[in-house]
Amino acid sequence: MGKVVGIDLGTTNSVVAVMEGGKPVVIANAEGMRTTPSVVGFSKDGEKVVGQMARRQTVLNPQNTFFAIKRFTGRKYSELNPESKRVPYTVRKDEFGNIKIVCPRLNKDFAPEEVSAMILKKLAEDASKYLGEAVTSTVITVPAYFNDAQRQATRDAGRIAGLEVLRILNEPTAAALAYGLDKADSEVILVFDLGGGTFDVSILEVGDGVFEVKATSGDTQLGGNDFDKRIVDWLAEKFLENEGIDLRRDRQALQRLMEAAEKAKIELSAVSVTDINLPFITADKDGPKHLETRLTRSQFEAMCDDLLGRLRLPVKRALRDAGMTPRDIEEVVLVGGSTRMPIVEKLVEGMIGLQPNQNVNADEVVAVGAAVQAGILGGELKDVLLLDVTPLSIGLETIGGVMKKLIPRNTTIPVRRSDIFSTSENNQNTVEVHAVQGEREMAADNKSLGRFKLYGIPPAPRGIPQIQVSFDIDANGILQVTALDRTTGREQSITIQGASNLSESEIVQAIREAEKFADVDRQRKERVEKRTRAEALILQAERQLRDVALDFGMQFARNRRQRIDNICRDLRDSLKEDDDRGIDQAYADLQDALSDLNREVRQYYAEDEDDDLFGTIRDIFIGDREQDDDFYNRGYRRDSDRSYGRDYDRGYGRDYDRGGYGKDYDKGYSARNSDRDYGRDYDRGYSRDSDRSYGRDSDRSYGRDSNRSYSRDNSYPSYDQGYSSRKPSKPSYQDNWDDEDDDWL
């Protein structure tokens, strides 16, 4: 088994961490951030985007951008309240009463588990890049107050993402693991976890490698998003009063309100007043409308008073279930970004009487704890014992619709409880078992986990058959049911499928679609990368052509340059037409053309180097003849050599050779051969190599410095040019130069 990572699948943000060197490490995503927004979107091209990229398109593409999916996980549509449905995207129910997320861009509906799987897939891929190996196993955290259906749905999301979920871990317990890993002394801590969409309270006894959960409570429909909605409603009502327009009916306006509300909430944690400015929020027949207002911290706290009351109840219930009072609590750990609100800190301090601990990162501590649990399962950590509890009571529906509890809430898990049932009619051969979860007395008021029937009961008077029904809750908090007919001794193990909103066939289909999506995404990514490479190669070719033209002149490799220009034009046309085959062909041709051009440039330099080597050898045998002249031509100013020597050779010598004087002279005196035999060899061999042997050294020691001091500092280039035009100064060392008359013969 490879590395096991810990994932905090949050409502607002998600985090992934891993154990390295015995210590938990938070893994940054591909964008370099340690937290990844739990947002999935589909662009106008149908491309799937996850995280920050998806969050950026929420305003302009609200119907195809999905967030806060965690609130819909493992729930039926009938369980949603009106507030939960008020999101910019469309939420509907299918023929089975399950929740579906509508994606108009793809003309497709997604189950919440499928959207969560996309987030998990993104986190696993980022972790794989960091670790250098594929991540296939994980520990995923869930709110402590998640019921069995929600836990099953989270596990299903992991399966769809291609991950083996080794453990479903409660978020407060994970935070306690991260906080108390190195605690030697035993202490009782209260973990107050207020995230974006859920709220949990857990009381644990931590110390010496033992983490025992005493009690847990919470609210899966209470979080920072609810505080944001209070600001949204306040802004919308104020705008409705002033302008007569309800912004909540406009998807884009609603999304902008939600983002502004979240920003205002965060700012009010640090300042006492904040300005909210939303220009062009909407428009009517009179023109565009703007929203400008000011919100104070006292106003915000006043509108959230009932939410604070909902925070108090789980704390009191957890203390009561643990048999403790606030005085028994020795440490308070705040978890979740929403605990940064001053009003929440004051509430906790007022209820417990302790200043909350600020030593943990509220955003990352849950993922760190999940990584610790992953390290335990992977064998990296030992001597750590985790004793968690089930958050809700589990039982059966009996006659009259009454719920009989088999496993009370806050029972340490894993746990197995059994009870004996019998038939209610004579000769009854089938018994229906209805498993429910919750704290209400009537089964109908609790969460139905599923119904199943036991067949093959031998005919007998009612009350005679003895059927032992056992409930098993594993370390993940997931329920299994086993039935034993004690009359025949036949045992039958039953997994409650109704706890998950997706059947096994639907899960398999979702896995296939996820793999298909992965292939489509990979192909789309390859196409984008191909176009990026092609555009980069075009820019490289253009830059290279400019450099060659500057260094060697426009006439150098003219044919190759024209060929490269034509290929660049074809490649641009293929990119514009989105012709994959044309792009591939033009890209390959351009690479070949650039390679040929580079080869020609290298060959040119190689010839120069060979000539220089030959000249150095000649210089050794000839001596220092006319070294002063060569120094003047080469050493005095290398730029002068280019402007005078090269220009002279090309301008004067070449023109001279080509002119009537040069051609006849060339033919009569075999100047071409002489030029090659003596002039070129001598010129390159002596002049260049003298430049290398003497001129280069002299050039570096004197020539360059002299050039800089005279030519640059004292502005002597004009002198060189003037001198060149008046007196050629033996430019090519021709045989027909008269040294005495200082002129041509």
Q: Which of 107, 90, 125, 100 is nearest to 46 (CA)?
A: 107
CA-to-CA distance for 517 and 720, rounded, in angstroms?
71
Return the bridge partners of 282, or none: 289
Phi/psi of residue 362, each to 5°? -60, -30
Catalytic one among 171, 200, 619, 689? 171
E strand intervals along 298-438: 331-335, 385-389, 394-397, 403-407, 412-413, 415-421, 431-437
CA-to-CA distance for 422 and 431, rounded, in angstroms?
8
Asked whether the beta carbons of 355 and 149 are under 8 A apart, the reply is: no
Catalytic one among 8, 148, 388, 397? 8
70 tagged catalytic: yes
Determine if residue 490 is left, alpha or beta; phi over 0 gives left, psi from -120 to 50 gives alpha, anything else beta. beta
Catalytic one among 3, 48, 70, 289? 70
Assigned token pair, 220? 């899966």
Question: Which one-letter DSSP state was computed for residue 28?
Answer: P
Asked whether the beta carbons of 406 and 394 are under 8 A apart, the reply is: yes
Instruction: Work out whether strand 164-170 and strand 137-142 pair parallel, antiparallel, or are unpaired.
Output: parallel
Helix (H), strand (E), coil (C) string for 222-279? CCHHHHHHHHHHHHHHHHHHHHCCCHHHCHHHHHHHHHHHHHHHHHCCCCCEEEEEEE
Asked whether the beta carbons of 404 and 436 are under 8 A apart, the reply is: no
Assigned token pair, 326? 């606030």
Assigned token pair, 458? 């031998």
Q: Which of 178, 176, 142, 175 is nearest to 158 (CA)?
A: 142
Composition of the chain by helix, strand, coil, percent to 5: 50, 25, 25
Determine if residue 635 is left, alpha or beta; phi over 0 gives left, psi from -120 to 50 gives alpha, anything else beta. alpha
Torsion of the alpha carbons at 630, 636, 640 and 642, rounded to the nearest 10: 60
Q: What count of Cα atoms within 13 Å lies in the side-chain half-sphere of residue 380?
A: 18
Q: Which of 637, 567, 627, 207 is nearest to 386 (CA)?
A: 207
639 tagged catalytic: no
Catalytic one among 125, 193, 200, 691? 193
Q: What count of Cα atoms within 13 Å lies in the side-chain half-sphere of residue 176?
A: 36
CA-to-CA distance for 390 and 215, rounded, in angstroms?
9
109 tagged catalytic: no
Residue type present at position 27: I
Asked whether the beta carbons of 477 and 413 are under 8 A apart, the reply is: yes
Asked whether the beta carbons of 91 and 102 are under 8 A apart, the reply is: yes
Asked whether the beta carbons of 59 and 255 are under 8 A apart, the reply is: yes
Question: Which one-letter DSSP state was computed for residue 392?
Answer: S
Asked whether the beta carbons of 501 and 99 are under 8 A apart, the reply is: yes
Cα–Cα–Cα angle for 31, 37, 43, rounded to 5 degrees: 80
CA-to-CA distance for 289 and 278, rounded, in angstroms?
9
Residues annotated as part of the active site = 8, 70, 171, 193
